[in-house]
Structure 1
Amino acid sequence: SFGLGLVGYLITPGLLKLLGASPEVAVLATGYLRIYMAGAIITFPVYVINSILRSGGDMLSPMLIVGGQIILNLVLDPLLILGIGFPKLGVDGAALAGVIAGAAGTLAGLWVLVKGKSFIRLDLKKIKLYFPRLHTLKETLRLVGPNTVEMLGMSVVGLVIIGIVARWGTNALAAYGIGTRLFMLVSLPGLDLAMATAIIMSNNIGARKIKRAIAGTWVAAGFNMLIMGVGGIILFVLAGEVVRLFVVNPEVVNIGINYLKITVPGWLFLAVWTILRRAFIGAKDVATPLFISFFTLIGVQIPIAIYLPKTVNIGVNGVWWAILVATLGQGIISVVLFQRGRWKANIEGKNNKM
Structure 2
Amino acid sequence: MTVYSRVLGTGSYLPAERLTNHDLVERLAKIGLETSDEWIKTRSGISARHFAAANELTSDLAVKAAQAALKSAGIESSDLDLIILATSTPDHLGGFPSTACVVQDKLGAHNHCAAFDVQAVCAGFTYALAIADAFIRVGTYKKVMVLGAETFSRILNFQDRTTSVLFGDGAGAVILEASAEPGILSAALHADGSQRDILCVPGRATNGGVEGAAFLTMDGPAVFKLAVKVLEQVAHEALEKANLKSEQIDWLVPHQANIRIMEGTARKMGMSMDKVIVTVHEHGNTSAASIPLALDAGIRSGQIKRGQHLLLEGVGGGFAWGAVTIKY
Q: Same fold (TM over 0.5)?
A: no
TM-score w.r.t. the length of structure 2 is 0.31
**TM-score, L = length of structure 1:** 0.29
Between Structure 1 and Structure 2, the one with more helix by share is 1
**Greater RCO between the two (CA within 8 Å, min separation 6)?**
2
